[in-house]
Chain A
Amino acid sequence: MVGRRILLEFVLFIFLPVIFAILVPFAYKKIKGIHTGWFVLLVPLVLFSYYVSFLPLVMDGGHAISEMKWIPSLGIAFTSYIDGLSLLFTLLITGIGSLVVLYSVFYMDREKEDLGSFYVYLLIFMTAMLGVVQSDNTMTLYLFWELTSISSFLLIGFWYTKDKSRFGALKSMMITVFGGLMMLGAFILLSIMGETFSVRELIAQAPDLMNQPYFTLALVLLLLGAFTKSAQFPFYIWLPDAMEAPTPVSAYLHSATMVKAGIYLVARFTPIFGSASTWIWLVTGIGLLTLFWGSFFAVKQTDLKAILAFSTVSQLGLIMSLLGAGAISYHATAAIFGFATYAAIFHLINHAAFKGGLFMIAGIIDHETGTRDIRKLGGLMSVMPISFTVAAIGSLSMAGLPPFSGFLSKEMFLESMVALRHFELFNFDTWGIMFPIVAWVASVFTFTYSMYFVLKTFIGQKKFEQLPKQPHEAPIGMLIAPMILATIVILVFFIPNVIGKWIIKPAVMAIQPTLYASPSAVDIHVKAWHGFGAAGLWLTIGVVVFGTLLYLTIPKWQPFYRIQPEKLSLNKGYDALMRGSEKGLNRVSRLYMTGKIRTYLLYMFAFMSVTIIAILFIKDAFVLDMNSFAAITLYGSLNAIVLILSVGFVVFAKSRLAAIIALGGVGYSVALFFVIFKAPDLALTQLVIETVSVALFLLAFKHLPALSTHGETKRNKVVNLIVSLSVGVMVTLVALSSHSQKMIPSISQYYKDTVETEAAGGNIVNVILVDYRGFDTLFEIAVLAIAGIAVLGMIRLRVSRKEPNDENK
Chain B
Amino acid sequence: MKTNDVILQTTAKVVFFIIFLFSIHIFFAGHYAPGGGFVGGLLTTGAIVLLLLAFDLRTIQQILPFNFTIMTAFGLLLALGTAAGSIFFNVPFFTHAFSDFDLPLFGHTSLHTAMLFDSGVYLVVVGSAITIIQSIGGDD
Q: A-side interface residues toward B, CB under 8 Å? A: 680-681, 684-685, 688-689, 691-692, 695-696, 699-700, 703, 759-763, 765-767, 769-771, 774-775, 777-778, 781-782, 784-785, 787-789, 791-792, 795-796
CB atoms of B125 and A769 under 8 A apart? no
CB atoms of A792 and B131 under 8 A apart? yes
Contact partners of B38 in chain A: CB under 8 A: 685, 769
Known: A774-B117, A778-B79, A778-B83. A681 touches B35 (CB 8 A): yes
**B26 within 8 Å of A (CB atoms):** yes
Among B7-15, B58-66, B69-77, the stretch that binds chain A is: B69-77
Contact partners of A781 in chain B: CB under 8 A: 75-76, 79, 120-121, 124-125
Contact partners of A782 in chain B: CB under 8 A: 76
A762 to B35, CA, bound (A): 11
A305 to B85, CA, bound (A): 79
Contact partners of B135 in chain A: CB under 8 A: 791-792, 795-796
Candidates A700, A759, A766, A788; contact of B128 at CB < 8 Å: A788
A791 to B138, CA, bound (A): 12
Interface string of B29-43 (1 = CB under 8 A from A): 011111111110011
Q: How far is the CB of B23 from chain A (nearest CB, A)?
A: 9
CB atoms of B31 and A774 under 8 A apart? no
CB atoms of A695 and B39 under 8 A apart? no
CB atoms of B114 and A681 under 8 A apart? no
A761 to B115, CA, bound (A): 11
Nearest B residue to A682 via CB reads B34
Known: A696-B132, A699-B137, A791-B135. A774 touches B32 (CB 8 A): no
Known: A784-B128, A785-B73, A789-B131. A770 touches B121 (CB 8 A): yes
The tally of residues in B whose CB lies under 8 Å from a CB in A reads 49
13 A-B pairs with CB atoms under 8 Å apart are A688-B46, A692-B129, A700-B136, A760-B31, A761-B31, A762-B31, A763-B34, A765-B34, A766-B31, A766-B34, A784-B125, A792-B135, A796-B135
Known: A761-B114, A785-B127, A789-B69. A680 touches B34 (CB 8 A): yes
Q: How far is the CB of B41 from chain A (nearest CB, A)?
A: 9
Q: How far is the CB of B9 from chain A (nearest CB, A)?
A: 17
Known: A692-B42, A781-B121. A788 touches B131 (CB 8 A): yes
Contact partners of B120 in chain A: CB under 8 A: 781
Interface string of B86-118 (1 = CB under 8 A from A): 000000001010100000000000101010011
Nearest B residue to A679 via CB reads B34
Q: How far is the CB of B53 from chain A (nearest CB, A)?
A: 7
Known: A774-B83, A785-B128, A787-B128. A759 touches B96 (CB 8 A): yes
Contact partners of B118 in chain A: CB under 8 A: 766, 770
Q: How many A-B residue pairs have CB under 8 A?
A: 143
Please indicate which of the listed interface residues B39, B112, B121, B127 has the most CB atoms of chain A within 10 Å of its own CB: B39
* 15 additional contacts (CB under 8 A) given A685-B42, A689-B42: A681-B35, A685-B38, A692-B46, A696-B132, A761-B112, A769-B38, A770-B36, A770-B117, A777-B121, A778-B80, A785-B76, A788-B68, A788-B131, A792-B69, A795-B138
Nearest A residue to B31 via CB reads A761
A703 to B136, CA, bound (A): 9
**B18 within 8 Å of A (CB atoms):** no
Candidates B35, B42, B114; contact of A774 at CB < 8 Å: B114
A791 to B132, CA, bound (A): 6
Nearest B residue to A684 via CB reads B39
A789 to B34, CA, bound (A): 29
A689 to B30, CA, bound (A): 17
Known: A775-B94, A781-B121. A692 touches B128 (CB 8 A): no
Contact partners of B80 in chain A: CB under 8 A: 778
A792 to B136, CA, bound (A): 8
Contact partners of B69 in chain A: CB under 8 A: 788-789, 792
Known: A777-B121, A778-B79, A781-B120. A787 touches B132 (CB 8 A): yes
Contact partners of A762 in chain B: CB under 8 A: 31-33
**B139 within 8 Å of A (CB atoms):** yes
Nearest B residue to A770 via CB reads B114
Q: How far is the CB of A806 from chain B (nearest CB, A)?
A: 26
Candidates A692, A695, A767, A795; contact of B114 at CB < 8 Å: A767
Q: How far is the CB of B107 from chain A (nearest CB, A)?
A: 18
CB atoms of A785 and B31 under 8 A apart? no
Q: How far is the CB of B114 from chain A (nearest CB, A)?
A: 4
**B21 within 8 Å of A (CB atoms):** no
CB atoms of B114 and A791 under 8 A apart? no
